[in-house]
Amino acid sequence: MSLPQTPSQTIGPFFKPSLVKSGDAALARRESRGERIVIVGRILDGDGAPVDDAMVEIWQANADGRYDHPDDTQEKLIDSQFHGFGRAATDQNGGFRFDAIKPGRVPGVGSVLQSPHINVSLFARGLLKRLVTRIYFPGEPSNDSDPVLKAVPIARRSTLIARVEGPSVLRFDMVLQGENETVFFDV
């Protein structure tokens, strides 16, 4: 009997041919409510080399701050044209892109409102477990009071805040280790 390999048993390439489909990175539709944004970025290893066979997943609330999930029972509007989940494979330069919207604020522990953010999971060769981080928005006044962002040392917070690259375009590069390593959360 022969069993197929799983992502934790092989170093890939596994993600592009198996888990990412065309259109997975387009979260926003023409009918979706909210401010349209494009998120671009690169995955870099500790030597600054691009990781060309990684997969990035994002999960976010809609523009009103509600997740498209049965456990989110807030009395906020549901946007039937926005589901908040996307997946992208990295290209030969380690690059990825998502077409999304800026999410609204969601409650955290103790119903404290969190700053608008996008949850990110990263899967790549050599990782037996996904890496988890967040994308925060530059210039967002509520960043100063976000409980998760406040738990990160001040010198490292910039690794969680996207940079403006152009009109409605934000850049969020992730560095896996070494200098300027992105903050990843133990979840």
Q: Give domain status of residue 54, yes or no.
A: yes
pLDDT digits (tens, 9 = 90+) for 46-59: 999 999 989 999 99
Specify the pLDDT at position 97: 96
Q: Which residue has the tokens 């290893």?
A: 45
Residue given tokens 């738990």 in the structure block: 151
Closest CA to 170 of 111, 101, 81, 73: 101
- pLDDT, residue 20, reads 59
Task: State the DSSP string of 19-79.
Answer: H--TTTTB---TT--S-EEEEEEEEE-TTS-B-TT-EEEEE---TTS--SSTT---SS---
The pLDDT assigned to 5 comes to 54
What parts of the chain have a pLDDT lower than 50? 9
* Residue 182, domain member (yes or no): no
pLDDT value, residue 16: 57
In a domain, 155, yes or no: yes
Q: Is 170 domain-assigned?
A: yes
**pTM assigned to the model:** 0.88
Q: Which two tokens stand for residue 32?
A: 């979706």
Domain of residue 153, CATH code: 2.60.130.10
Please answer whether residues 144 and 114 qualify as being in contact, where contact means their C-beta atoms are separated by less than 8 angstroms. no
In a domain, 187, yes or no: no
Is 75 domain-assigned?
yes
Q: Which residues contact 7 (CB under 8 A, 6 or more apart)?
A: 14, 15, 123
Bridge partners, residue 41, by sequence: 96
Q: What is the number of structural domains in the chain?
A: 1
In a domain, 1, yes or no: no
Report strand pairing: 36-44 vs 169-171. Answer: parallel
Has residue 32 been placed in a domain?
yes
User: Could you list the residue range(s) of the whole structural domain that residue 14 is in?
Assistant: 7-175
pLDDT of residue 133: 98
